[in-house]
């Protein structure tokens, strides 16, 4: 039976350890056979050979190609935010940041493959990987689709409600029906009254059986293993007590409305859905549906197969939540994006982002005391659509907060891992967090 991704990672680490142990033995043996003070051509040969073998071994184990670029609109030169970046026909991928920038780490065997960048409303950009690597200040321009938008109000055409009902009825067909495994990068950032106070990032493995309708829409079905976790010292800040203390990654995964069928069932909701002008994505025409009553909802549906490829939800409705230390909290804002990408005829999660804001008020005077904001992102880096083994009970993450499940900091791992690229906003976050010392040292001190 093929090893799971977790087993492969462990095997990789073991292989590196065995390699280093073997080199140490060779060095030790050469010291006995050929004393250091001896002068001859053969004296230096073993050492040269050892150094050569070390270099070859290190390169073979760790070498990855990197494509760094900015994706922009060809006409306006505006950055394309959260565009999907991947290798055509492969399961590896990342996304652009808020400035359209990305760093994409690629295995060397994909050098001759095609890199593809896609985003709603634009033609997909494609180019051989080898033509893009090691280029500085690379700007990639994407053209808006020349697709001629058709009138959406046509006699006997499908309504917005019709389109969504069909899309929901085809979830079992369009999304995974067999066990699969995903590599995911998770990040959460906590902010209080305009200042960032804590950062946590995790490299994860996410296993799931399929997209069948769950019995309980509010209980996580995926099994998640934490491969690496790093966090800032801000998790000891007194204000972190005013944020949710449970497992935030688990709660973020439950925001996948397609997987967990979190749509209203009442006819009034489907009747309220409006058809907007069609869009274009990855060579396909796209239905665009919207709802704008108590909240704003936009759903993008592939016209070819009625797969939901993206969902955007935004609400500014206020509501009282909990009381604490003479204060009351009120939910004031929520924005959620759930995005999918096609792979081998099915649609898999691409990324989830969530921005939630809660304000705290004096319970007697109703005076605003402080504002809190939680920013969460989950980016899927790679997909194994033919997973043969599941994540075991002892391997999966616990239900309590990830800040209590952090692992020894592994800098070498993070240096070549596909994360969402740093942006000017991230530099502001780092500036706030580093009031407690260099962030790299904070990661190390939290071991």
d(CA 351, CA 338): 6
**Interatomic CA distance for residues 189 and 84, integer angstroms:** 22
Q: Return d(Cα 125, Cα 119) in angstroms, integer.
A: 9
Residues 6+ apart with CB under 8 A from 38: none
Q: Dump pLDDT digits (tens) for 332-364.
A: 999 999 999 999 999 999 999 999 999 999 999
Share of the chain above pLDDT 70, in %: 80
pLDDT tens, residue by residue, 63-119: 778 999 999 999 999 999 999 999 999 989 999 988 999 999 999 999 999 999 999
Per-residue pLDDT, 64 = 77
For residue 329, the tally of other CB atoms under 10 A from its CB is: 18
DSSP summary character for residue 406:
-
The pLDDT tens digits along the chain (447 residues) read 434 444 444 444 444 444 444 444 434 444 443 343 333 344 444 544 444 444 444 444 347 789 999 999 999 999 999 999 999 999 899 999 889 999 999 999 999 999 999 999 999 999 999 999 888 899 999 999 875 444 444 443 899 999 999 999 999 999 999 999 999 999 999 999 988 888 888 999 999 999 999 999 999 999 999 998 888 766 667 788 888 878 999 999 999 999 999 999 999 999 999 999 999 998 899 999 999 988 999 999 999 999 999 999 999 988 888 888 899 999 999 999 999 999 999 999 999 999 999 999 999 999 999 999 999 999 999 999 998 888 988 899 998 888 888 777 888 888 877 777 665 556 777 777 777 777 677 777 665
Alpha helix positions (H), 93-176: 160-169, 171-174
Provide the 3-class DSSP secondary structure of residue 278.
Answer: strand
Q: Is the Cβ–Cβ distance between 348 and 375 less than 8 Å?
A: no
* Tens digits of residue pLDDT in 270-308: 999 999 999 999 889 999 999 998 899 999 999 999 999
């Amino acid at each position: 039976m093929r090893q799971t991704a977790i087993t492969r990672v462990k095997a990789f680490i073991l292989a590196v350890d065995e390699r280093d142990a073997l080199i140490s033995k060779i060095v030790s043996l050469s010291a006995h056979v050929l004393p250091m003070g001896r002068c001859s051509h053969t004296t230096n040969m073993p050492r040269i050979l050892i150094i050569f073998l070390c270099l070859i071994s290190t390169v073979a184990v760790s070498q990855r190609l990197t494509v760094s670029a900015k994706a922009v609109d060809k006409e306006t030169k505006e950055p394309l935010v959260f565009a999907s970046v991947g290798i055509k026909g492969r399961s590896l991928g990342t996304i652009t940041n808020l400035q359209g920038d990305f760093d994409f780490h690629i295995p060397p065997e994909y050098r001759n493959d095609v890199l593809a960048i896609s985003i709603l409303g634009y033609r997909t950009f494609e180019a051989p990987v080898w033509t893009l690597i090691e280029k500085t200040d690379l700007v990639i321009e994407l053209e808006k689709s020349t697709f001629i938008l058709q009138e959406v109000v046509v006699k006997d055409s499908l309504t917005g409600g019709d389109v969504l009902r069909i899309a929901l009825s085809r979830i079992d067909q369009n999304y995974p029906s067999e066990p699969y495994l995903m590599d995911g990068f998770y990040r959460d950032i906590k902010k209080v009254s305009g200042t960032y106070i804590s950062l946590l990032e995790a490299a994860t493995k996410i296993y799931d059986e399929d997209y069948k309708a769950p019995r309980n829409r509010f209980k996580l079905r995926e099994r998640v293993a934490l491969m690496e976790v790093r966090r800032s010292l801000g998790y000891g800040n007194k204000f972190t007590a005013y944020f949710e203390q449970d497992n935030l990654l688990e709660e973020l995964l439950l925001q996948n409305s397609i997987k967990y069928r979190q749509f209203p069932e009442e006819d009034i909701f489907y009747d309220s859905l409006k058809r907007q002008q069609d869009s274009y994505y990855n060579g396909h025409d796209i239905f665009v549906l919207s709802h704008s009553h108590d909240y704003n909802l936009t759903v993008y549906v592939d016209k070819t197969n009625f797969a939901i490829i993206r969902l955007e939800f935004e609400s500014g409705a206020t509501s009282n939540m909990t009381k604490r230390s003479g204060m009351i909290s009120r939910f004031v804002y929520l924005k959620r994006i759930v995005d999918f990408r096609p792979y081998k005829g099915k649609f898999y999660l691409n990324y989830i982002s969530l921005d939630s804001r809660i304000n705290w008020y004096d319970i007697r005077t109703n005076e605003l005391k402080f504002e809190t904001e939680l920013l969460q992102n989950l980016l899927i880096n790679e997909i194994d659509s033919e997973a043969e083994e599941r994540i075991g009970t002892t391997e999966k993450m616990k239900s309590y907060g990830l800040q209590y499940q952090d692992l020894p900091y592994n800098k070498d791992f993070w240096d070549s891992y596909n994360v969402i690229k740093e942006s000017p906003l991230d530099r502001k976050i780092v500036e706030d967090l580093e009031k407690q010392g260099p962030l790299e040292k904070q990661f190390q001190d939290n071991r």
